[in-house]
Amino acid sequence: MELIRIDSAAPDERALRAAAEAVLRGGVIAFPTDTLYGLGCSLFDVSAVEMVARLKRRDPSLAVISLIPEPRQAYGLAAEVNEVAERLMTRHWPGPLSLIFRAAPIVPPRVRGAGGTVALRCPKDTLCQRLLERIGGPVVSSSANLSGQPPAQSAEEVLRVFGNQLDLVLDGGPRAGGVASTLVDVSGARPRLLRAGALEVAAELGDFIDARSGADG
């Protein structure tokens, strides 16, 4: 396991290259996102995605969220980007908003969520964007914690939980007070608000299902 300290605001090329190469080799890394520390791997590497679930002691059938370097990648990974999704993407990407789409055929079936879906987010964070650009494709990002435990807010916490089980850890300083992304399912006829998170988007959804309480919005 390699630990690399990095300036999140001005990440150096050597660190970015090392992290990208680890992911492209099929490894699992930890890195600071725009919200919290996350475990990351390639969405297209089924074994790596399943390893993330094992590390977190998480049900592998549960959906994962993947980070993309630019909004237009959603059009290749989603079977359809409807009007609501386009509006949300235009207003809030890059940013702490995760959207669930019906997955395009390119997404491996074993890493899709329930109903054949894929969850995507375009983060607003210099380190994330630079790393994603180096990797070139979607990177699974799951909070760095054991299932049911608080997410890690520093590289030190990541190491205490996962130790040498990871291929590489980027230490970009603390992410204290990070709030999870807002989560909206846009895969069906009506959008479903699944998690309020860092953004308030209910007023932008039109006729939606508030799945936080089971009530219509």
* Residue 62: C-alpha distances to residues 56, 202, 204, 206 (Å): 12, 24, 27, 27
Question: b vs e for 44-69, b when ≥16 Cβ sit within 10 Å of the residue's Cβ?
Answer: bbeebbebbbebbebeeeebbbbbbb
**Which pLDDT belongs to residue 198?**
85
Q: How far is Cα 175 from Cα 23, in angstroms, rounded to an integer?
A: 22
Q: How far is Cα 127 from Cα 49, in angstroms, rounded to an integer?
A: 22
DSSP state of 17: H
Instruction: Supply angle C-alpha 130, 131, 136, rounded to 5.
Output: 100
* pLDDT, block means (10 residues), the chain with 217 residues: 92 96 97 88 95 91 88 96 96 95 95 92 92 94 91 93 96 80 93 90 91 56
Q: Give the phi and the psi of residue 189 in degrees, each rounded to 5.
A: -65, -35
Side by side, which strands form the sheet with 97-102?
Answer: 2-5, 168-171, 29-32, 37-42, 139-143, 65-67, 117-121, 97-102, 182-185, 192-195, 209-210, 215-216
**Which pLDDT belongs to residue 125?**
87
